[in-house]
Amino acid sequence: MISIQQLSVSYSEDKKVLDDLSIDLPLKKIHGLVGLNGSGKTTFIKTLFGLHKADQGVLCYNEKKLTKKDIAYLPTENYFYNNITGNEYLGLFQDDIKEINLWNELFQLPLNELIDGYSTGMKKKLAISGILHQDKPIMILDEPFNGLDLESSRIIRMILLKLKEQGKTIIITSHILETLTSLCDYIHQLDNKKILVSKSKDEFEEFQKAIHQRIEKENSQIINKLF
Ligand code: ADP
């Protein structure tokens, strides 16, 4: 179990982003974290990874303090040292070049070229490859599908399902609910500084419908005035 108890995080005295948030996440599952832009998803996972200090709260993995060593973390934005090749970057995580080349049959990256020349999508794929080479029990991926083409998104989805089968616990954020419903075992909604609801697979359809209905109700009057 990953256990998060009474977590509060703020950026300044008057800017609390998470407030007394508690949740238990079962292991060996894929957890989706949804919420509006600015609801605190990135802050939440940066805090889990230890990049942001909590004001208060207890974070545990298997009843011990959660540490960076337990986690492979993919940030939303990828910052690379651009003056090395893709191969040199992946070599930080994996010294078996054959293994790197086999993985790269999936992503088809020009690994002998400098990262400087990579497109945004290629950098994302390189960052994801790096994460997949790290053998950590927990993977936290912040918006992994953003900026990826259909084929790469599908490949990553297939890999994540395999990793779950192998016993990894995966936490993925997205501001688009549909990207998570086909992949996750649980979806947790972050709203008003807390986890508002957690839903399991059999409840996703109803959950998605309710969210769509609320958005349509809130906006239909304006749209009807416009058209
Ligand atoms: P999400 O990932 O759900 O879009 P974030 O965690 O990025 O949300 O942001 C939550 C809130 O915290 C937003 O209001 C955002 O403006 C604010 N915020 C995020 N990072 C910082 C920062 N470094 N300094 C001050 N405020 C921040």
Rounded to whole angstroms, how far apart are CA atoms 34 and 172?
Answer: 9
- pLDDT tens profile 76-115: 887 888 899 999 999 998 888 898 999 899 999 999 999 9
What b-and-e string marks burial along 24-49, b requiring 16 or more CB atoms within 10 Å of the CB? Answer: ebeeebbbbbbbeeebbbbbbbbbbb
pLDDT at residue 178 greater than cutoff 80: yes
Q: Report the half-sphere exposure of 17 (CA within 13 A, side-chain side).
A: 21
- Beta-ladder partners of 190: 195
> Which CATH number describes the domain made up of 2-81+136-226?
3.40.50.300
Expressed in angstroms and rounded, the spacing between residue 179 Cα and the centre of ligand 1 is 22
What spacing in Å lies between the alpha carbon of 40 and ligand 1's midpoint?
Answer: 6
pLDDT at residue 175 greater than cutoff 80: no
Q: Is 83 in the pocket of ligand 1 (CB under 6 A)?
A: no
Q: In the structure, what pLDDT confidence band is assigned to residue 52 with cuts at 50, 70 and 90?
A: very high
Distance CA 181, CA 32 (A): 8
User: pLDDT, tens digit, for every residue of 117-153?
Assistant: 999 889 999 999 999 888 899 999 999 998 888 999 9
Cβ partners under 8 Å of residue 198, min gap 6: 23, 186, 187, 188, 189
Query: From the alpha carbon of 43, which atom of ligand 1 is closest?
Result: 6
What does the pLDDT read at residue 24?
A: 97
How far apart CA 88 and CA 84 sit, in angstroms, is 6
Model pLDDT for residues 154-172, shown as the tens digit of each residue = 999 999 999 999 999 999 9
Check whether 37 has a pLDDT greater than 90.
Answer: no
CB burial class (10 A; 0-12, 13-18, 19+) of residue 81?
A: exposed
CA distance 108 to 100: 11
Confidence class of residue 36 from pLDDT cuts 50, 70 and 90?
confident
> What is residue 177's predicted lDDT score, i.e. its pLDDT?
85
Tell me what pLDDT residue 105 has.
93
143, two tokens: 């918006």
* C-alpha–C-alpha distance, residues 122 and 91, integer Å: 17
| Mean pLDDT taken over the chain | 93
Ligand 1 centre and the CA of 16: distance in Å? 10
HSE-CB at 212 with a 13 A cutoff on CA atoms is 9
Taking CA atoms only, the protein residue closest to ligand 1 atom 14 is 38
Q: Is any ligand 1 atom within 6 A of the Cβ of residue 46? A: no
pLDDT digits (tens, 9 = 90+) for 3-13: 999 999 999 98
Give the ligand 1 atom nearest the CA of 15.
26
Asked whether 86 lines ligand 1 (CB < 6 A), one says no
Instruction: Give the per-residue pLDDT at 147.
Output: 84
Task: Please indicate whether residue 189, judged by its CB atom, sits closer than 6 Å to ligand 1.
Answer: no
CA of 37 to the centre of ligand 1 (A): 9
Distance 152 CA to ligand 1 centre (A): 28
Instruction: Give the pair of three-digit tokens for residue 220.
Output: 């239909």
* Residue-range domain boundaries for the chain: 2-81+136-226
